Amino acid sequence: MKRAKYLLVLFVSTFVYVALSLTVGQNSMRCYRQMEEQKRIVSKQKSDIQNLNTELILELTALKNDRAVIAAYARKLDYVTEGEKLVKINGLKPANNTVYETGSVIRHVEPQYVSEKLCKIASACAGLILLVLMLLSDIKNGYITLGKKNYTTINGIPVYDVPQI
């Protein structure tokens, strides 16, 4: 039964590894949250671009089919129809062309995590430290003797100290 406590070393090593992997490892909740944030940003930008695309499709359809829209756009480009008079006013800024904001480039950012190798090394170190502490405790309590004899010798014959029943 005294040796069964050394199973605690395996348990603690495994627990440390699992705890590190779940909290700061490659597949941890922290990495999951970072990737969810990236997904939210990309989804928002995708939605904005889809809205802009819908507006541009409507504008293109209007420019192809609606004569009033075509005429308004032509006037914006300084074209006139027959019978219209053109009045030029100096000093005014020319009409600005509409610039559409399509968003900024989003680069994939690797989530920050502790490598699996480091998690394994940390768990092995924790297990070794616990093992050394248990061995030192057993040596101190006398369960393990290092280099000491459990017996005495009289004239070359070992004499064991065995309790009498």
What are the tens digits of pLDDT across the range 28-39?
888 999 999 999
Q: Is the pLDDT of residue 92 over 50?
A: yes
Which of the residue ranges 47-56, 58-67, 152-161 would you say has the lowest mean pLDDT?
Answer: 152-161
**Structure-block tokens of residue 54:** 């819908």
Give the angle subtended at the CA of 122 by the CAs of 131 and 143, to the nearest 5°: 0
Give DSSP secondary structure letters for 116-142: HHHHHHHHHHHHHHHHHHHHHHHHHHT
The rounded radius of gyration (Å) of the Cα atoms in the chain is 40
pTM for this entry: 0.56
Which has the higher per-residue pLDDT, 139 or 129? Answer: 129
Q: What does the pLDDT read at residue 102? A: 75
